[in-house]
Amino acid sequence: MPLNPVNNPYLTMPVRIVKVSFESEDRSLKTLELQLINEQDRSQFHYLPGQFIEFSIPGKGESPFGIASSPSEDVIRVTVNRTGYVTESIHQLEEGDFAGIRGPFGNTYPLDLMKQKRVIIISGGFAFTTLSSLLDYLLEHEEYNITGYDLIYGARNPGMLLYKDKIECWKQQSKIKSIITIDRETPGWTGTTGFVPTIVEQSDIRPDQAIAVICGPPIMIKLTLPKLLDKGFQKDQIFTSLERRMKCGIGKCGRCNIGPNYVCKDGPVFSLQQLEGLPAEY
């Protein structure tokens, strides 16, 4: 009995790599733009900020990546950190090559909750990907009536900052108050320096009518959360996007659970309140 690919979540949709660029100075991060090849796939592939895809290279395997592009764009953008077997192979892809994707999977950032509120985006390192999608999406959709944005984004050094061109554009927007920081003073860097948790502590972000979204390395999240709570943020006002080792992406293979929640299916976006009382397995 042949399987209908539409109903088989394990089958991949073919994509063409339309653009590849290095995202970081140390060449560990590459951004790829993908285009679905089949018309049918294109018409069915709808996503919202926060969701992820499984990127598949036959013979090598699959890895999950948060979607960095905004849904309005005609390409799917992912930024890939070269750390493992699959990401190594993805880094070898060139423009015009084929690969496969599955998805979109997972939940989205709490877009409805953000309506008529201030959105505070806190990020470190290359976890900025889906947050870039969120920012783009909210800026494009005026119906959300976001009252303003705070963007606190940090990286080890200027060369490790993602999407620099985009950041420049966001800086021009009056609605966005941005602090871009690097860990230590570096020649040529005139902006802020300091670690994200400290910057958050020093900043004037306030919890009134606000939603905070925080993504980054576990240690950054761990140190930043107390600062937010000190400032009076409630646990249901703070959201984070989690990363775990994944295989199926659809809540079947078992490994990415935190308590009764699967990061791939019930997440990756969780509020601090949802994670309370569950094993801190992230």
Instruction: Give residues in contact with another protein (CB under 8 A).
Output: 1-3, 5, 7-12, 14-15, 37, 58-63, 83-85, 87-88, 98-100, 218, 243-245, 247-248, 250-257, 259-260, 265, 277-279, 281-282
Residue with smaller CB distance to another protein, 102 or 117: 102
Residue 187 contacts residue 179 (beta carbons within 8 Å)? no
Shortest distance (Å) from residue 229 CB to another protein: 19
Shortest distance (Å) from residue 222 CB to another protein: 13
Shortest distance (Å) from residue 117 CB to another protein: 28
Shortest distance (Å) from residue 257 CB to another protein: 7
Shortest distance (Å) from residue 14 CB to another protein: 3
What's phi and psi for 269, nearest 5 deg? -90, 125
Residue with smaller CB distance to another protein, 87 or 181: 87
Shortest distance (Å) from residue 265 CB to another protein: 8
Residue with smaller CB distance to another protein, 75 or 278: 278
CA distance 24 to 253: 33
CA distance 77 to 128: 13
Residue 144 contacts residue 10 (beta carbons within 8 Å)? no
Residue with smaller CB distance to another protein, 79 or 237: 79
Give the CA distances from residue 35 to residues 153, 163, 273, in Å, rounded to whole numbers and listed in that order: 29, 20, 37
What is the DSSP annotation of 218-247?
HHHHHHHHHHHHHTT--GGGEEEE-----S
Residue with smaller CB distance to another protein, 28 or 147: 28
Residue with smaller CB distance to another protein, 27 or 175: 27
Residue 150 contacts residue 211 (beta carbons within 8 Å)? no
DSSP code for 3: P
CA distance 7 to 48: 21
The SS3 of residue 143 is helix
